[in-house]
Structure 1
C-alpha cells in the first residue's frame, strides 16, 4: 500500500491531498467499475470481471490498484500485469489508467503509476509496455513516436 501526500496549488493557496493506493479488494468491484466506466463508457460489470480474469490467467503478477482520496472515496484505478519476456527480464504492461478529481487528476495518476512502478521493480521489471487500440494511421504514428521508439532522420 502506498500513501501519497501531494501539495496542490489552487487559487494561490496550497492544499494537501492524501491519496491511498492499494490492490482492489473483491468487495470494491462497484467502486472500480464506476472509475472504469469513466475511461470507457460502455464498460459493464461483466467486462470488468472478464478483464480481471484475463489478468489472472495470463500474468506472472498483476491486477488492479485502486486509489482513494483522504475522504476514502475512490478516485483512480490502474489495471496492470507483469509479463514474462522471452530471453529477458519481466516487463510491466499498463492496460488502463483512470484518475478523477475536480481540479487535478494528475496527482492521482502519478500516485497510481508510482505504486505500480514500485511493484513492478520489486518483480524485476525494467521496461514498460502499454496497450492501446490502433484507430487511425495518424494515431498509430503519434503513439509510436510518444513511446520514444521511433527515430526520424532527414538530410534536408
Structure 2
C-alpha cells in the first residue's frame, strides 16, 4: 500500500486552531494597548487641568485650556495672560475634543479657571482612538473644578 504525502485533516484542524488562538491574543493585546494609551492621555490631561487651576490661584490670573491641531495631531494649550504657558501634543492615533455635556464634540470650546479656583468655563473632554471603538470622557465640573474621568463607553461613531 502506498502512503500519500501531505497533511491529514486532523493536522490541518490543529494548525487552524493554533492560528485562531494566536490571532485572538493579538487582537486583545492591541485593545489593551489602545486602552492604556487613552488612559495615559486622560491622566496627563487631568494633571494639566489641576496644575492650570492651581496656577490661576497662585498667580491671581485667569488660565485657559484650549485645543488646536498641528500636523494632523491635536495639541492642548494652556494660556495665561495672553501667552501660551504649556503645550501638550496628543499622541497621533488619539484625538481629543473639548465640548459640553450636551455637545461633547463642539469646536472652539475653552475651559478656563479664575483666581478663586472655580472654573469660569467648565466642559467635557472626550478622548477617542482612531481604531479602537471606545471613547473615554472626562468632565471639569462647574464651581468645584473637580476633574472626573469616566469608564470607557462604546463609541457610536461620529467625528473621527
**Structure-2-length-normalised TM-score:** 0.28
Q: Select the structure of larger CA radius of gyration.
A: 2
Write 1 or 2 for the structure with the bigger share of helix. 1
